[in-house]
Structure 1
């Protein structure tokens, strides 16, 4: 392993360790010493990569955003209609939020009022949902009486609500919960011609995400849990 590769691996271990601590303690209560201890490194090693706690939080946020972007691209590769793509993306995001501590912590940090987040995940999700529903309307997949704005609000509000409820009950971000939501919603908003081709349980795209849960160590933690 070259010096550059080892430096990249060290940075990734620190980001995952920071995510674990931020998720447990929150941004305000987390100290740099907590993060370096979680990673099994010295505080000096951490400072070599990050000047302060805000920079570490920004890195966790950025890593979470990149993971979500990559997973959305994977979900959008199949030649299906926009409603199915949106359904699949929601299942993939739920999978990541359930299994990847960096994604969970990144979203949590982005909603933390104690800091100034560099990303607005809720706005990005709104934009994604809005774009796909507009595409669904152009495809003729939506019933005539469906308001795009109202439907976007329902999807964004419900799915972000599932994320909040997940903190107390992991069942809220399971495939079962999302499938129930989409089964009810799609029956209301999709045209009869399209409805029969839709899979509210998703098309199994999460099977293409080789997420490998691991305790961060320099020797074993993979460089990336998701394909680019």
Structure 2
């Protein structure tokens, strides 16, 4: 039992260290040596748990998907659920290096992602906005896929604008973004609601 617990802690440490290195350096520059050093284990211990950098990247992305799925709850008003989920995602991008690395890896041309977290986030946004359209919550003529691209660019793109870093105010930035987006996509009757988290 002790060996299993130690192995689980080592795997967790390696996934977190890999996420940190991938988020900071990208996939191509990240090295197994840097990841093992960051995790405080030997390269041999890393290879005992993972076949290499690709396997670590997959583990990071799979963990990120699990976390992001937890914020894409269903039920109730789909437009309100989408807005709330964007605030949760922005908080995760600022606080959770594994989620941040999952998005970085999905967009990294040097890495062939099997998960593509960004595409999964876009699909979920499209589904939410499709439900909102069917419920009459979107403005007439607003295609759900186009609105979803805008939402994904606005939320995941915040990492490039650096409100997630020290001194950044990502929730405030997201509120300003939604104040521009919602009047363009929401049906007039839904715009009277207080949307901001």
Q: TM-score, normalised by structure 1?
A: 0.77
Q: Note the C-alpha offset of 1:19.
A: 1.1
Q: What corresponds to 1:111 in structure 2?
A: 107
Q: What corresponds to 1:42 in structure 2?
A: 42
Q: Note the C-alpha offset of 1:95.
A: 0.5
Structure 2 residues not aligned, in runs of 5+: none
Q: Which runs of 4+ in 1 moved over 4 A?
A: 167-173
Q: Secondary structure at the match of 2:110?
A: coil
| Structure-1 separation of matches of 2:148 and 2:26 | 30
C-alpha spacing 1:67/1:168, structure 2 compared with 1 (3 Å): closer
Asked if the contact 1:84/1:198 (under 8 Å) is kept, the reply is no
Q: TM-score, normalised by structure 2?
A: 0.88
| Structure-2 separation of matches of 1:167 and 1:188 | 24
| Structure-1 separation of matches of 2:93 and 2:20 | 13
| Structure-2 separation of matches of 1:101 and 1:187 | 33
Matched, 1:90 2:86: yes
Matched, 1:124 2:120: yes
C-alpha spacing 1:191/1:172, structure 2 compared with 1 (3 Å): farther
C-alpha spacing 1:145/1:113, structure 2 compared with 1 (3 Å): closer
Asked if the contact 1:27/1:112 (under 8 Å) is kept, the reply is yes
| Structure-1 separation of matches of 2:154 and 2:67 | 22
Ranked by relative contact order (alpha carbons within 8 Å, sequence separation 6 or more), the top structure is: 1
Equivalent of 1:156 in 141, 152, 156? 152
Matched, 1:25 2:25: yes
| Structure-2 separation of matches of 1:49 and 1:149 | 40
| Structure-2 separation of matches of 1:33 and 1:160 | 29
In angstroms, what is the RMSD of aligned CA positions?
2.3
Matched, 1:142 2:138: yes
C-alpha spacing 1:105/1:85, structure 2 compared with 1 (3 Å): same
Q: Note the C-alpha offset of 1:23.
A: 2.0
C-alpha spacing 1:124/1:173, structure 2 compared with 1 (3 Å): farther
| Structure-2 separation of matches of 1:189 and 1:31 | 44
C-alpha spacing 1:135/1:101, structure 2 compared with 1 (3 Å): same
| Structure-2 separation of matches of 1:126 and 1:160 | 10
Q: Note the C-alpha offset of 1:173.
A: 6.8
C-alpha spacing 1:151/1:22, structure 2 compared with 1 (3 Å): closer
Q: What corresponds to 2:173 in structure 1?
A: 177
Asked if the contact 1:171/1:177 (under 8 Å) is kept, the reply is no
Q: Note the C-alpha offset of 1:186.
A: 1.6
